[in-house]
Amino acid sequence: MRSMLFGTNWKMNKTREEAKRYCQVLKTGLSEIDDSVTLFIIPPYTSIDILVSELKDTKIKLGVQNIYYEKSGPFTGEISALMAKDAGAQIIEIGHSDRRTLFNDTDEIIARKTRASIDNGLIPLICVGENEDIFNMKQSISYVRGQVAMSLSLLEKRIEQELWIAYEPLWAIGTKGKPASPDHIEDVHQGIREELYNALPGWNISKIPILYGGSVNRINADNILCRRNVNGLFIGRAADEPNQLLELIQLAGGNK
């Protein structure tokens, strides 16, 4: 199996005890997962220490769902990239549609958060995606490419560092979401890859993974992963339980 990323964002879900149980069940199935698979979990801030403790002897990467771009200061309710790193995070999720639509994270804010993550040696997981109106107007690729370009606009062009991109069309996520077709996913991911070459000259663009998220399930996962420029899955409700996540990875060919 080629190298693949599988991960999930818990959003505002799971108590500390629920997080602990999730990890304990997850660990029992890790021996069946192929070594080419990188697994990551992005819990609420309140559970990051639980995951650090429970998953310390595994290769699972951990992240947080958001940061503020300043190093410190009077920003009540926020945490910095340095604080996230100090807590044990390796990944910073940036630009999720919830942050863009509910909390008014602009392209400029997302670019500054991306730069703060890179400056602190963390992996920015930059989420991009169009709404249904843009999709219906057949402007998905140009819109998403614009989001990618803006997100990376403050990075040094010749200094290669690790970052990930996740394509999550708004019309495909949530309880009312409808899966995107594999052809559409492949086309948008190709557009993202092309934009990465424009935005980051001098970087090894082939090493930047592009994940797909949006109504991913055990039925469609394999057909999505076989497409060009799809390097993994960012899974929502289908990974609410650890056994669901393990089953999805195995169905997608990630079992030993």
Instruction: Name the active-site residue from 54, 168, 186, 195.
Output: 168
**Residue 255 buriedness (CB in 10 A; 0-12 / 13-18 / 19+):** middle
Q: Using CA atoms, how far apart are residues 96 and 130, in angstroms rounded to an integer?
A: 11
Q: Using CA atoms, how far apart are residues 153 and 115, in angstroms rounded to an integer?
A: 9
Tokens of 122: 């963390």
Query: Is 168 among the catalytic positions?
Result: yes
Phi/psi at 125 (5° precision)? -105, 100
Q: Using CA atoms, how far apart are residues 21 and 15, in angstroms rounded to an integer?
A: 10
Instruction: Name the active-site residue from 93, 96, 186, 189.
Output: 96
* Residues involved in catalysis: 96, 168
